[in-house]
A and B are shown apart, each in its own frame.
Chain A
């Protein structure tokens, strides 16, 4: 069934048991919403020099947005900002592939499970919500600006 290509077991697992959820200390905080379905995330980034020390978040939303925030946490925490940005870009590219890409498992690990979601334009935003929030929060943390909630 087509639906199983979206709701991969890995995605449902992350949804049921999200990794790293909850707000902890951070250098910058952002709040992003997905106006089409009301998914929301508040996300904090903690940097330790060039390394992503923590990504903590409080979120509300559909399984895709929840699972993707969990996978984000798995993938970027412990990497340097530069490495993490490469993962983020690879994920963005996968989500924009309209079902044409399977994703590079070397870089994306569990996140390749989202390949099926890219076929559903209405859900791509759900999958990207946490990642866009992370990108935004990281930029703010790097700029050393005080944390701003929009």
Chain B
């Protein structure tokens, strides 16, 4: 296969040298073809080095103690917050809350609103709006909130092409709506959603908007001011950082008004036996010893991504995704679940292959060293919507190559022969 027609590709030969795991060879001589990036990304040496350096030279608890290590650890942890703030173009570093992952970030928003005073309080008269393409992490916290408060949960549906159906937006988002929570990029369909339209509608009725940017932050420029949302959640491990670190960005005025969720050390101002007062945001929302090394790792990941440039990362993935869509069309009986063009589309491609179950597809691909994800991808309502039990999903990142797409296509032909 020649790839000379592809434009916008990064120098993956150089980039791949930074990722030790990508040189692994599996099953007697098959080079690893890692196409499970929507589940989690691999980590570059720069991030691993930052973790090691932190533990080898600076390890201490943060925000307490006056000794050198405590000051260094605090500076590194808070420095990571500065990096995140710059990465998402936050107006203030105090709007960046560290959590353990996107799930915790979204649960935090739901709990803030459940315990809030008016006008933010979600109660029995309120409505919550989400979409049918959400990850379970952006479904279940809202189901819990609805169950506990008596609020009504409403859903945007999906079109046959795998896009959000906005035709009934005026019925869904009303004066009763307190919060709309929607994913920027679907982890199963790959769809990039027109969140501007939803934000504008929500603003017109005074509802808050939370955006799940878990599949967006790793892959393209993320500008929370341009999004005009109230909350933006994402997770570090999908963007080259270690597991155990997530982010919730929230608008400053809101973070000042909304109540804390978890209580503990770090989040207080003073504590008496009668009551406590809370530290200002973001610390109000970071109870207990935070994931310090993980935050430092996230900072290093952001440095790595920023040095390449998120616009260049996006262009690379766009080229790879377009090429993959083109080549997947060659595989008989293959049906893409989600947009069939690379327009407004992320780098995760789900598909079915005739009546061969994804579990079997994934197993036979694995034997060839190709790692894909199979199942419902924590987005079961999407599978139900399209009448399929599960999909196989290939997802790309900045180190993915056209050669890996070719390997996937060869692998899929092999799968068909195996079960044919």
Contact = CB atoms under 8 A, between A and B. Distances in A.
Given A36-B375, A38-B383, A38-B390, A61 B363 contact: no
Given A2-B367, A3-B367, A38-B383, A63 B419 contact: yes
Interface string A21-46: 00000000000000011111000000
A38 B389 contact: yes
Interface string A76-98: 00000000000000000000000
A123 B389 contact: no
Interface of B is mostly: helix
Contacts of B389: 38-40, 60-61
B233 to A, nearest CB: 24
Contacts of B367: 1-3
B360 interface: yes
A27 B56 CA distance: 64
Interface in B397-413: none
B357 A63 contact: yes
B364 A62 contact: no
A72 interface: no
B27 interface: yes
A6 interface: yes
A37 B375 contact: yes
B186 to A, nearest CB: 18
A38 B380 CA distance: 9
A39 B359 contact: yes
A6 B383 contact: no
Contacts of A36: 375
Interface residues of A, number: 21
A133 B383 CA distance: 23
How many chain B residues sit at the interface, stated as a range, is 10 to 19
B374 interface: yes
A112 interface: no
B364 A37 contact: no
Residue from A12, A40, A61 whose CB has the most chain B CB atoms within 10 Å = A61
A7 B418 contact: yes
B376 interface: yes
B383 A62 contact: no
A21 to B, nearest CB: 14
A6 to B, nearest CB: 7
A128 interface: no
A64 interface: yes
Residue from B360, B376, B419 whose CB has the most chain A CB atoms within 10 Å = B360
Nearest to B364: A3
A126 interface: yes
Interface string B358-387: 111001100100000011100010010000
A2 B27 contact: yes
A64 B364 contact: no
A37 B390 contact: yes
20 contacts: A1-B367, A2-B367, A3-B367, A7-B418, A12-B419, A36-B375, A37-B358, A37-B359, A38-B376, A38-B380, A38-B389, A39-B389, A40-B389, A62-B357, A62-B359, A63-B357, A63-B359, A64-B360, A65-B359, A120-B363
Interface of B: 27, 357-360, 363-364, 367, 374-376, 380, 383, 389-390, 418-419
Given A62-B359, A63-B419, A120-B363, 12 more contacts: A2-B27, A7-B418, A37-B357, A37-B359, A38-B376, A38-B383, A38-B389, A38-B390, A39-B359, A60-B389, A61-B389, A126-B359
Q: Which 6 pairs of residues, A with B, have the shortest CB-CB distance? A: A62-B359, A62-B357, A38-B390, A37-B359, A3-B367, A38-B389
